Amino acid sequence: MVGIATPEAAQPDLSGLEPGRSAIPDVALVLTVNSRVRELTIEPRVTLLDALRDRLHLTGTKKGCDHGQCGACTVLIDGRRVLACLTLAVACEGKNVTTIEGIAEPGSLHPLQRAFIEHDALQCGFCTSGQILSAIGCIGEGHTQSDTELREFMSGNLCRCAAYPNIIRAIWQVVAEQTVAGDASV
């Protein structure tokens, strides 16, 4: 019969380990964030959100709940919106990560940034970067066939200041601008 390790034998030797560190060795990681290649050495358990905020100092992506419930940490990976708090940084190697810091052109805000300002679509602003990145994804996915659909597909992004009506107006403005311009991308 194959021996089964006792609980004692299965325990790794954690003596000498820094408090708060895991016993798993760090890994080298290359991320492409806002078109810039960034090299990191991190624990494999680090989320994309913590890698962005704490290692790369891109603090525009916010940590609200850290549990996938508020949408404040929304970023784009290869153009699709994801929750950075539920995504491991190591899973993003070889992919393009876009954060709020990467959407404006030099000297010119992204249309959604401009529309949010014009429609006063924020109060405290904590949810705003997530709202804007999610709106970029939502428009790209084509979920703008109706007001109901847009609201449904933006419903993962919570706003404690309840700026929802103005957020939706801002998004519709950009959709309308694109329609006039015949542009499907934002």
Binding mask 75-104 for ligand FES (x = CB under 6 A): --------x-x-------------------
Residue 146, phi-psi category: left (phi > 0), alpha (psi -120 to 50), beta (remainder) = beta
Residue 165 near ligand FES by CB under 6 A: no
Residue 22 near ligand FES by CB under 6 A: no
Q: Segment 115-144, which members bind ligand FES (CB under 6 A)?
A: 122-128
Nearer to ligand FES, 60 or 178 (CB): 60
Q: Which helix (H) or strand (E) holds 153?
A: helix 147-153
* Count of residues interacting with ligand FES (CB under 6 A): 23
Kindly tell me which residue out of 53, 63, 81, 119 binds ligand FES, with binding defined by CB under 6 A.
63
Q: How far apart are CA 129 and CA 75, in angstroms?
A: 9
On the 0-12 / 13-18 / 19+ scale of CB atoms within 10 A, 177 is: middle
Kindly tell me which residue out of 82, 115, 163, 175 binds ligand FES, with binding defined by CB under 6 A.
163
What angle is formed at CA 60 by the lines to CA 55 and CA 63, rounded to 5 degrees?
75
Kindly tell me which residue out of 33, 42, 52, 73 binds ligand FES, with binding defined by CB under 6 A.
73
Q: Where are the beta strands (DSSP E) in 34-136?
A: 36-42, 74-77, 80-83, 96-98
Q: Which single residue is written with the structure tokens 């429609």?
A: 119
Nearer to ligand FES, 68 or 165 (CB): 68
